Amino acid sequence: MERQPTRETKEARAERPLGDLGFTRIPAEEDPRRDPELLAAIATIAPGTELRQAVDDIIRSHEGALIVVGEPDELAFLYSGGIRLDAPFRPQLLYELAKMDGAIILDPPIERLAWANVQLMPDPTIPSDETGTRHRTAERVAKQTGALVVSVSQQRETVTVFVGEARYQLDPVADVLTKTNQALGTLDTYRQRLEQVLTRLTALEFQNAVVLDDVLVVLQRAEMTTRMAERITRDCVELGGEGRLIRLQLEELVGDVPIERDAIVRDYQLAGAGDEATEALATLSDLSYQELLEFGRLAEVLGHDRGKNPLDLSVTPRGYRVLSHIPRLSEPVIRRVVGDLGSLDSVVRASQRELESVDGVGSVRAREIREGLRRLQEHNLVDRYLQL
């Protein structure tokens, strides 16, 4: 069947690369919160935690503080002076102790206040770009011990988190909420465009008329949507209890996008759907934002020569993605069906007897596969009609 020419409808607009739609204006800088250790540290001091309650009280009173969360005995070599407390942690007590000079030491579960008024003596040869004494000490302690160190600036009323080599300054909750709500709006746009190209790809797959360009458009959209969702998830960690509503909205918007993306790679990775596809997914996740905008680089991820025109290269889906939409069809069964029949087109054309011959399918499941594929084709036709 001939491939229908594109028109500048919503569907045609959805086919265009993200860069043509103004998406290159979205910042592409690295988010330091991708470091799991740093993200866990941010969660420790997120709104809704008792530690954050104490820190907010310190800021409101225009005080400063240096708080270290780590095993007190392991940090003891840094201590000079101080008061040993070993008292149960209470936000009010931490706030009162912050009025004294020196650092406050908490145990990792943040259940006990171990020491107060401690002068910390980290290795002075450890490099630090910080200018203030409190922040410079915090950075060196974090680098030397790996402990979580929270520095509250008295003059600027800011909170900076140090853990290992990582440093992160917390934004005001209101600013993070505004930024995250804007990101949700962008994600909604991403998701709508993704739905359009997914519907189109499904139709072409049933017609056995897919070219590589169709796949790359969908893969690009799916990866970009996934990345935006991951960033919003990190924002929600920073928001703590203030991000509950955003989490609900995010779950609704993202749905099964990561699963769809993975299935597309398994369908179209040239070398195979096993380890080769797993490696391709890892490579895809490591691509820079600029590389993600280059169809040639995406073609390489799927095992194709980036020099070939993706509009001229026909490709055949294995069928993982479409079959995953059939209810009660487990992944092992899908793998066996695809493994025996080879492609989606072969599965669609397979007779009841051919499907029954696949290990683990049987007569009932074979009927479910045939009926499920028929319903998906009908549903896809309706979706495409509604988008025009």
Looking at every residue in the chain, the average pLDDT score rounds to 89
> Hey, what amino acid is at 114?
A
Cross-strand partners of 211: 314
Tell whether the torsion through CA atoms of 311, 313, 319 and 324 is positive or negative: negative
The mean pLDDT value for 271-275 works out to: 91
From the number of C-beta atoms within 10 Å of its C-beta (0-12, 13-18, 19+), residue 242 rates as: middle
For the stretch 339-365, pLDDT in tens is 999 999 999 999 999 999 999 898 999
Distance, in Å, from the CA atom of 196 to the CA atom of 17, rounded to the nearest integer, reads 13
Report how far residue 161's alpha carbon sits from residue 142's, in angstroms, rounded to the nearest whole number. Answer: 9
**CB-facing half-sphere around the CA of 134: CA atoms within 13 A:** 23
CATH 1.10.150.20 range(s) for the chain read 318-388
- Integer Cα distance of 176 and 348 in angstroms: 48
* Mean per-residue pLDDT, 312-325: 95
For residue 80, the cross-strand partners are: 119
Q: Coil, helix or strand for 78? A: helix
Biggest CA–CA distance in the chain, Å, is 82
CA distance 116 to 90: 14
Higher pLDDT, 121 or 360: 121
Which pLDDT score, from 0 to 100, does residue 377 have? 87
Give the CATH H-level superfamily of domain 171-316. Answer: DNA integrity scanning linker region (1.20.1260.110)
- Answer whether residue 374 shows pLDDT above 70: yes
Which are the contacts of 172, defined by CB distance < 8 A and separation ≥ 6? none
**316 falls in which pLDDT band (50, 70, 90)?**
very high
Contacts of 186 (CB under 8 A, 6+ apart): 26, 228
Decide if 134 contacts 66 (C-beta within 8 A). Answer: yes
- Residue 16: alpha-carbon gap to chain centroid: 24
Q: 387: pLDDT confidence band, cut at 50, 70 and 90?
A: low
Strands (E), 81-189: 83-88, 103-106, 112-120, 148-152, 159-163, 166-170
Each residue's pLDDT tens digit, 290-303? 999 999 999 999 99
In the chain, CATH 3.40.1700.10 covers: 33-170
- For a pLDDT cut of 90, what percent of the chain falls above it? 82
Which pLDDT score, from 0 to 100, does residue 154 have? 87
Of the listed ranges 13-27, 92-106, 144-158, the least confidently predicted one is 13-27
CATH superfamily of 33-170: DNA integrity scanning protein, DisA, N-terminal domain (3.40.1700.10)
Lowest average pLDDT, out of 26-35, 124-133, 377-386, goes to 377-386
pLDDT digits (tens, 9 = 90+) for 10-23: 444 444 445 443 34
DSSP 3-state of 119: strand
**What digits encode the pLDDT tens for the residues 60-82?**
999 999 999 999 999 999 999 99
Q: Tell me the pLDDT tens digit for each residue of 200-224.
A: 999 999 999 999 999 999 999 999 9
| pLDDT band for position 383 (cuts 50, 70, 90) | low
Question: Which of 152, 128, 149, 132 is closest to 78 using CA atoms?
Answer: 149
Q: Does domain 318-388 have CATH number 3.40.50.2300?
A: no
- The CATH 1.20.1260.110 portion of the chain extends over 171-316
Q: Please report the pLDDT score of residue 157 as a whole number.
A: 87
pLDDT at 155 over 70: yes
Read off the pTM: 0.83
For 366, residues 6+ apart whose C-beta sits below 8 A from its C-beta are 352, 355, 356, 358
